[in-house]
């Protein structure tokens, strides 16, 4: 993934947030920092603190470093790094405040998924749209480019969900703050490497969390 990102025509920097992974991720990144000096960064935390808190830590780090555009993406090639420049252009050149790599926008699609996973994913997206009235076809997407001002405006310490509901909560917060959200069609491919962290607790958090967000009209 790092080799692919750093070979793109536009120069990207990458931050890896490592929660004490037992597979030696931290050391691998430290070794590669000698190759990608100044472009590859590592933030090490102790213990498994959840997906959402890792993203929040990464966002805060990026803001502190002064980046104008901050991205989030999966590192298992389900998100194609070749799409990074398209997300950047949607914000930097076409005026979006938040660009979402979308499976369900016109031109987007999924690849190598089972029918039950497609039904679950699309059904979840429909549920979120119906409950929140948020005009985003892929509200659970995790391939995103944020303008700096979006992350500065959202109270990141008030974002409470740590699973996949985190993705919904961040978009809903941006939507309530009237930021312009654009969806960029992508092909989402079933993971090339790694194991899904989906669980019953994560699904429950998303279902209940969306209900709470809508009726409480939470404004992080």
| H or E, element range at 68 | none
Give per-residue pLDDT as tens, 160-184: 887 778 899 999 999 999 999 999 9
Q: How far apart are CA 187 and CA 156, in angstroms?
A: 29
Strands 69-72 and 98-102: unpaired
Q: How far apart are CA 13 and CA 3, in angstroms?
A: 12
Q: Which two tokens stand for residue 101?
A: 């790599």
Q: Report in angstroms the alpha-carbon separations of 198 from 34, 67, 117, 163, 165.
A: 34, 31, 12, 9, 11
Is 5 or 121 the better-scoring residue by pLDDT? Answer: 5
Q: Residues 75, 40: contact at Cβ < 8 Å? A: no
pLDDT at 198: 47
Q: Which two tokens stand for residue 135?
A: 């005009």
Give per-residue pLDDT as tens, 45-69: 987 777 889 999 999 999 999 999 9
User: Within 34-114, where are the H helices?
Assistant: 51-65, 84-92
> Is residue 205 over pLDDT 90?
no
């Amino acid at each position: 993934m790092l080799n692919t990102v750093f070979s793109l025509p536009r120069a990207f920097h990458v931050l890896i947030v490592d929660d004490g992974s037992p597979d030696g991720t931290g050391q691998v990144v430290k070794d590669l920092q000698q190759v990608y000096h100044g472009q590859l960064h590592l933030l090490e935390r102790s213990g498994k603190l959840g997906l959402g808190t890792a993203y929040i830590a990464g966002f805060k780090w990026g803001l502190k470093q002064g980046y104008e555009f901050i991205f989030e993406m999966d590192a298992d090639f389900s998100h194609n790094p070749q799409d990074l420049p398209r997300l950047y252009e949607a914000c930097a050149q076409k005026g979006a405040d938040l660009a979402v790599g979308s499976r369900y926008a016109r031109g987007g699609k999924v690849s190598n998924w089972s029918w039950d996973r497609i039904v679950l994913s699309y059904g979840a997206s429909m549920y979120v749209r119906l409950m929140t009235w948020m005009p985003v076809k892929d509200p659970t997407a995790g391939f995103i480019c944020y303008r700096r001002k979006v992350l500065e405006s959202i109270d990141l310490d008030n974002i409470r969900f740590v699973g996949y509901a985190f993705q919904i909560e961040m978009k809903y917060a941006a939507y309530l703050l009237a930021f312009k959200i654009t969806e960029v069609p992508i092909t989402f491919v079933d993971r090339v490497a790694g194991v899904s962290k989906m669980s019953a607790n994560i699904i429950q958090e998303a279902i209940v969390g969306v209900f709470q967000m809508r009726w409480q009209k939470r404004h992080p």
